[in-house]
Amino acid sequence: MEKHVLEEVSKLQSEQNVLGVLVSDTKGLCIFSSGEVTPGISGHVTFIANQLSKLDKHDLYPTIVLKSDNNAFSVVVSIAGLRWHYVSKKRKFPTQFSIAFFHPYCNAGGGGERVLWCAVNAVNTVYPKVKIVIYTGDLEVSPVEIIKRAKQRFNITLPNNLEFVYLHRRKWVEAENYPYFTLLGQSLGSIILGFEALRLFQPDIYIDTMGYAFTLPLFSLICGCKVSCYVHYPTISSDMINKVIQQKGKRRTISYIKLIYYQLFAKLYSLVGWFADSIMVNSSWTEDHINTLWKRSLSTYKVYPPCDTSDLQCLPLERHKTKSVKIISLAQFRPEKDHPLQLKAMYHLRQIVNEHVWENIELVFVGSTRNQEDEMRVVDMMDLCKHLSLENNVRFKVNISYDELKNELSEGLIGLHAMWNEHFGIGVVECMAAGLIMIAHRSGGPLMDIIIEDGAGQNGFLASNEVEYAHAIHKALLLSDTQKLSLQKAARGSVNRFSNQQFHDNFLRAIQPLFSLKKFK
């Protein structure tokens, strides 16, 4: 064994940039020796080599060479070696205390991005001496353009000292690359993307704000930093598993395979949650699922997303007297937002109302697109409009500015939102703040946190399918002016708990334990 060790050490020492050799004795005690191992040591041997000189500029993390008598022990020692490397590097080259947000699609312009930018401003306000870094995969846009879009889309002014770390491996988390076992593929892909992020910048505090929970153990174990996450939507949930169980009779074999896959993935997802020092969830629905999976209720904080309630509440409640009725659908053009359901609801509505009323009804889809797939989705929606003979009653407003959004909301009477199990519903709250009579899906955040459908406190309507949506719209149209105004006031008055200031306070309260006792203010 000793001869074998010495031969392997000699061989690795001839390689370039070898970090060192990790050795453990038969009792599992590890010894690190930089380029030297004494002949008396026996047992498991693991070598970790960093051959950076052999990598091209696009290969952004080191090659790791692992050799061991015991594969399981090899993994443990490998993690220990990587942690030693990154922690010692951080100590050797101390930098300004930093907090990094992992948000590969930070320029998407959706509700998740509003959370990101409001979180950044919250940290900058209270901890101005802390360096703030954003991990992004938006290679085609500059930092100036990202900051400009945040201002244009959300009316949010970002700090000038914000730094962006560009990731070239974002394709590893894109669903189109995983036609099968998509959840697992994207989760494992996020680890690769996370390695690139860690290679480029080592933070003191790491916060995942996009739902890539499998990066949490990476930064906790290897980087040795404090770790947190803001969960918009659990990657797997009991609702998803139950949906597969209900389909077992249709395609029995495939359903059983999918059920086993979901159950195994849920166990993996439960494990990674244990590496978070602080967990933030955006709604009661998400909180229930995360507590069931991660069982970390004492470290979990419910932090409602920031909604631009103050600015939108300044819009007049009473609309201009016109014959036309404008219905606003505010959401990104993503598949889960279920825009087709809203078009089908309009088709059913046409069967209920008379032709004169129908001619004066207009549905306006307002939302942003993230990529070419989303843009094609808009084109498909336009085709569906023609197929349902709705093209004269539907308009699309894509990637519009914040001022244009306010104008559309000021002219709208009814708000529409159709996503099943919407984790929260920022668009729902914004429509209510603007004074729209809201109709949302009877599930998730709108059901549990936002909309009250019955009693004196009613502030909107809920529906589950296109027929219910059509009847809810019809019911809103039949309300008298007094009833409409009463419902609008109730909706507007109920959204103050979702304001930017409430998010600011609750977010800072959740991350405060991550900071040491040093004074950053």
CB-based contact 454:466 (threshold 8 Å): no
Whether residue 502 has pLDDT greater than 50: yes
Confidence label for 186 from pLDDT (cuts 50, 70 and 90) = very high
Which domains can be identified in the chain, with CATH numbers?
1-69 (3.30.70), 98-306+502-514 (3.40.50.2000), 309-498 (3.40.50.2000)
What is the predicted pLDDT for the residue at 93? Answer: 55
Whether residue 104 has pLDDT greater than 70: yes
What is the predicted pLDDT for the residue at 221? Answer: 85
Q: Is 68 helix (H, G, I), strand (E, B) or coil?
A: coil
Q: Which range, of 149-153, 254-258, 325-329, 408-412, averages the lowest pLDDT?
A: 254-258
Q: How many CB atoms lie within 10 A of CB 31?
A: 13
Q: Which range, of 93-97, 371-375, 501-505, averages the lowest pLDDT?
A: 93-97
Fill in the DSSP letter of residue 336: G
Residues 6+ apart with CB under 8 A from 296: 273, 274, 276, 279, 290
Whether residue 75 has pLDDT greater than 70: no
Whether residue 39 has pLDDT greater than 70: no
pLDDT in tens, 78-99: 555 565 556 555 655 567 899 9
pLDDT in tens, 429-450: 999 999 999 999 999 999 999 9
Q: Which range, of 37-41, 191-195, 326-330, 422-426, averages the lowest pLDDT?
A: 37-41
> How high is the mean pLDDT of the chain?
83
pLDDT in tens, 119-131: 999 999 999 999 9
Could you tell me which residue, 43 or 109, shows the higher pLDDT?
A: 109
C-alpha distances (whole Å) from 109 to each of 240, 267, 510 are 27, 32, 24
CB-based contact 195:218 (threshold 8 Å): yes
What is the predicted pLDDT for the residue at 27? Answer: 34
What is the predicted pLDDT for the residue at 443? Answer: 93
Q: Residues for the chain: how many in total?
A: 521
pLDDT in tens, 188-212: 999 999 999 998 999 999 999 999 9
Q: What is the CA radius of gyration of the chain?
A: 26
What is the predicted pLDDT for the residue at 82? Answer: 60
Whether residue 103 has pLDDT greater than 50: yes
In DSSP terms, which residues pair with 100 in a beta bridge? Answer: 133, 206
Distance CA 461, CA 452 (A): 8
Taking residues 173-179, what's their average pLDDT? 90
Confidence label for 2 from pLDDT (cuts 50, 70 and 90) = very low
Taking residues 34-55, what's their average pLDDT? 35
Could you tell me which residue, 133 or 95, shows the higher pLDDT?
A: 133
Taking residues 402-420, what's their average pLDDT? 94
* Burial environment of residue 355 by CB neighbours within 10 A (0 to 12, 13 to 18, 19 or more): exposed
Q: Are strands 30-33 and 20-24 parallel, antiparallel or unpaired?
A: antiparallel
The H-or-E segment that residue 407 falls in is helix 402-411
Q: Which range, of 308-322, 389-403, 459-473, averages the lowest pLDDT?
A: 308-322
pTM of the model: 0.74
CB-based contact 350:358 (threshold 8 Å): yes
What is the predicted pLDDT for the residue at 35? Answer: 40
Residues 6+ apart with CB under 8 A from 135: 100, 101, 102, 103, 104, 165, 167, 197, 201
C-alpha distances (whole Å) from 64 to each of 28, 52, 61, 78, 221 are 21, 10, 9, 9, 16
CB-based contact 312:488 (threshold 8 Å): no
Structure tokens at 106: 């930070």
Structure tokens at 453: 């459908």
